[in-house]
Amino acid sequence: MTHSTPLPRKLRNLAPHGAVLAGLSLVAQAHAQPAPEAGVQLFGLIDAAAGRLTSAAGVNAKEQAASKVTSGGLSTSFWGVRGREDLGGGATALFELSSFMRNESGAAGRSEALPAPVNVAADPYFSRASWVGLSHPDWGRVRVGNITSLLFLNSISSNALGDSTTFSPLNLLTFIGSPLSGGTAWANSMVYDSPVRAGLTGSVAYATSQNQGGPNAAARLAYSAGALNTSLAWQSVNRNPQTFADGTSANDTRAWQWAVSYDFKPLKVFGHLGQIQNRGTASTPQSVHYRVWDVSVSLPMGSGQWLAAYGVRDTGNTVAPVPATVAGGNVSRKLLTVGYDHHLSRRTEVYGLLSRDQTETRTLPAPPTVVSARGTSFAVGIRHRF
């Protein structure tokens, strides 16, 4: 996945007209669009970072930051192949196969299998994306397979920290250690993307259950007009996950998220407002609503940009208590991240990031009490696209 912040003006002026901007556009476009020419293309991204990091799922009362080398400070490392065939009359056939990787060890996927009570399998190959589809400029595009969820697409395409699941407050609050189920990609799914008309485009997604509970459904509407971009996404997940890509919650959930960004030149501002509803399971239904919001900014300076983001997830409902040693934040979680991303070339960046995590968790044993925890993470890294 690529970063959603544009290249600084100095590097944009070095590019041949339109070529580099098309190749380094928003993460949403990089994730969904086919190769620029007919044939098969090898592509990917390697991100290596080193620092002291707390749990991505949220600090707990007894946690201490640990020194780590990781494959994903600003983006999760991956590689893949994609292709495009001209079918005539404007129609094209498309495909993409891409796999996460941990370049610090050479292993595939984003993580090892997690034991009970999480019960999350390790990422299989091509869990990032594995789909085939047809496209036409007048009719839109249809894809079938394992495809990025529309909610994740909504989060990363209007975010100063792009698709980072290590430092982006919005992504951490929504997808990592969150009550949300469904994860960042849906297996067994079908997605239709409409053509762009007067700056407006829409997408709908449906994932069949295939012995994993009930089906998933989602929709997204986006509008772009000059410096303004805005979008609204909704999803309903009704199945228990079997892989990490399907999320770490076994509960049924519904969520919506509104995103907006405006380029004031040079400052660009991004914001999100949304809600996650934890609906429990068929045998143990519940209704706990979590509010999620964030604001992030990018400011070009020199051959890079300053980045800053702040986000909050909280609930006014009563939530079940958990042990104080688990990842915190089931009542509230607040995250602040600042950093600088410096471009060495059109494809290579170095960066430094600092994040402050604060959680409030309703803990066991009885009587339940709310315990606060705080932790700081920092890392320096390098990201290279190919």
The CATH code of the domain that includes 171 is: 2.40.160.10
Query: Is residue 44 within 8 Å of 76, Cβ to Cβ?
Result: no
pLDDT at 115: 56
Side-chain-side CA neighbours of residue 3 (13 Å) = 33
Q: What pLDDT was estimated at residue 116?
A: 53
Burial class of residue 161 in the structure, from the number of CB atoms within 10 Å of its CB (0-12 exposed, 13-18 middle, 19+ buried):
buried
pLDDT computed for residue 160 by the predictor: 97
Tell me if 253 is assigned to some domain.
Answer: yes
Whole-number pLDDT of residue 55: 87
Q: How confident is the model at residue 13 (pLDDT cuts 50, 70, 90)?
A: very low
What was the pLDDT predicted at 213?
62
- Cβ-based neighbour number of residue 26 at 10 Å: 22
Report if residue 57 sits inside a domain: yes
| pTM score | 0.86
Write down the pLDDT at residue 240. Answer: 58
pLDDT at 6 over 60: no
CA distance 302 to 344: 11
Residue 209 lies inside a defined structural domain of this protein: yes
Least confident range from 13-22, 79-88, 157-166, 168-177: namely: 13-22
Confidence of residue 289 (pLDDT cuts 50, 70, 90): very high
Quote the domain boundaries for residue 227: 46-76+149-385
DSSP symbol at 121: P
Query: Residue 12's pLDDT is what?
Result: 40
More reliable by pLDDT, 252 or 195 = 195
237 found inside a domain: yes
Mean pLDDT of all residues belonging to the chain: 86
- Asked if residue 369 is part of any domain, the answer here is yes
Identity at 54, one-letter amino acid code: T
Determine the pLDDT at residue 283.
81
For 288-295, the CB contacts below 8 A with 24+ separation are 288/179, 288/315, 288/317, 288/318, 288/319, 289/315, 289/316, 289/317, 290/178, 290/179, 290/314, 290/315, 291/315, 292/170, 292/173, 292/174, 292/257, 294/159, 294/169, 294/170, 294/173, 295/269, 295/270, 295/271
pLDDT score of 301 more than 70: yes
| Residue-wise pLDDT tens digits, 203-247 | 999 998 876 666 899 999 999 999 999 999 999 998 655 555 555
- pLDDT greater than 60 at residue 11: no
Compare 246 and 48 and report the one with higher pLDDT: 48
Note whether 316 and 283 are within 8 A (CB): no
Is it the case that residue 33 has pLDDT exceeding 50?
Answer: no
d(Cα 379, Cα 57) in Å, to the nearest integer?
17
Share of the chain above pLDDT 70, in %: 84
When pLDDT is cut at 50, 70 and 90, the band that residue 122 belongs to is confident
Inside any domain, residue 288: yes
Count of domains observed in the chain: 1
Given a cut of 50, whether residue 30 has pLDDT beyond it is no
- Residue 10 inside a domain? The answer is no
Q: Which is more confident, 275 or 363?
A: 275
* Residue 19 φ then ψ, to 5°: -70, -50
- Strand bridging mode 348-363 / 200-207: unpaired
Mean pLDDT of 299-327: 91
Question: Checking DSSP bridges between strand 66-70 and strand 78-88, what pairing results, if any?
Answer: unpaired
pLDDT, tens digit, for every residue of 81-111?
Answer: 999 999 999 999 999 999 999 999 888 888 7
Residue-level pLDDT at 182: 86
Q: Give the pLDDT score at 110.
A: 83
pLDDT higher than 70, residue 307 = yes
- The encoded tokens of residue 152 equal 């994740």
Q: Report percent pLDDT > 90 for the chain.
A: 63
- Tell me what the mean pLDDT of segment 97-126 comes to: 77
> Would you mind telling me the total number of residues written for the chain in this entry?
386
Residue 250 exposure: Cα atoms within 13 Å on the Cβ side: 12
Rounded CA separation 120/65 (Å):
24
CA distance 314 to 216: 25
Inter-residue contact 34 to 83 (CB < 8 Å):
yes
Domain contains 21: no
Is the pLDDT confidence value at 119 over 80? no
